[in-house]
Amino acid sequence: MPADNRREMPEHVRALYAGRRQAAEAASHARRRALEAAHPELAALERRVTAAAIARLEALDLSPDARRRAEDELDSLRGERRRLLAALGTDPAGYDATVPLCPRCGDTGYDGDSFCACYPEVAGPWLRAQSGLPADAEAGFASFDAALFSARPRSAPDGSPLPSVRDEREWQRDYLLGWCNAFPANDPTHVYLSGPTGTGKTWFAQAIGRRLLERGYGVLYLTAPDWHQHLARLRRLTTSFGPDPLRLALAEDMQQRIESVDCLILDDLGTENVPPATRLTELLGLLNQRLAAGRPLVISSNLALGDVRQVYDERVSSRLIGAFQLLDISGEDIRLTRRRRRLAER
């Protein structure tokens, strides 16, 4: 079992590593059987070594002289086996050794107190399947297209210069990529992406998820309406008489993931169709739980900070101000830009 200060490995991933160890052991046995089949004298000698090892154990209850003779016999046969293996061109030390698929971690998944470099490759397919990220979503940060954003200079109401939308998006891309690469030691721990529809908030949120998956971290992507539907379903199941055990187990498992996943991504906050009191209570509960646990939360929303105060209340906006990196993703709807580009290419 990993030490207490190690990152906890999901049970399914532990099973994947156990399978790798079993495969390595099976490969070792297969190599040994193949060598013995090709050289019957080795197989015969191996049987004698095994019999001598058993005799040494049986001699433990006998006289010191008997124990010494048994140990000498075993040592002699082992020496004979080493010489035979060397003559056959086989390393005696590795004759029956298990060679792990990953020599760094020995197929445990841990390199010291951290996950091994092999972890993203081993755990990646399962983590992606569990993430909720759309399978047909665009690729991550590497697919960023600066040409979608205007390079025209801008100015503030007082006339002072502002960076172009393109420069701003490039800075935001670099910031969020750095945030992912520093994960989980990023500061601030959480991110709030706000702006009008179609400006790239969801793209950034999904790019964050994909980059964290590449690094072997667990991600759960949910839209706000789907999250509230889950909570309503969980309430119905936990308060009903004789709930369906499978549905209840699935809902409880989802709630556990929402609370404990390395990074939770909540998209489209503010689009949920639930009573205001329920919406506020559930969002405050989520914020308090994730913030108290120090587990990163990424939120995207059409709501600017002032709108958050009106739709929810100041308790929500104060948590965003105090614990989140606030990024304004404003500008033209990039879907319109793409459409104009496609029309121009015809």
Ranges of the chain whose pLDDT falls below 70: 1-5, 136-138, 346
Answer yes or no: do 189 and 101 share one domain.
Answer: no
Strands (E), 105-238: 110-111, 114-115, 154-155, 161-162, 190-194, 219-223
Do residue 88 and residue 146 come from a single domain? no
Q: How many domains is the chain partitioned into structurally?
A: 2
Residue 147: CB atoms within 10 A of its CB come to 9
Look at residue 3 in the predicted model and tell me its pLDDT. 43
Q: How far apart are CA 122 and CA 6, in angstroms?
A: 18
Shared domain for 84 and 150, answered yes or no, is: no
One domain, residues 104 and 136: no
- Claim to verify: residue 93 and residue 147 sit in the same structural domain: no
Is 1 part of a structural domain of the chain?
A: no
Residue 6 lies in a domain: no
Q: Is residue 27 part of a domain?
A: yes
- Residue 33 within a domain: yes
Instruction: Report if residue 191 sits inside a domain.
Output: yes
Does residue 294 come out as left (phi exceeding 0), alpha (psi in the -120 to 50 range) or beta?
left
Residues 201 and 324 in one domain: yes
Is 127 among the domain residues?
no
CATH code of 302's domain: 3.40.50.300
pLDDT number for residue 249 = 92
Residue with tokens 């179609």: 198
Answer for the pair 204, 103: CB distance below 8 angstroms, yes or no: no
78 with 213, same domain? no
SS3 19: helix
Strands (DSSP E) along 110-197, which ranges? 110-111, 114-115, 154-155, 161-162, 190-194
Boundary-marking domain end, from 108, 142, 161: 108
Residue 114 falls within a domain, yes or no? Answer: no
Task: Pull the structure tokens for residue 291.
Answer: 């913030």
Structural domain harbouring 34: 11-108
Domain-embedded: residue 84: yes
262 and 146 within one domain:
yes
Based on the fold, state whether residues 185 and 263 are members of the same structural domain: yes
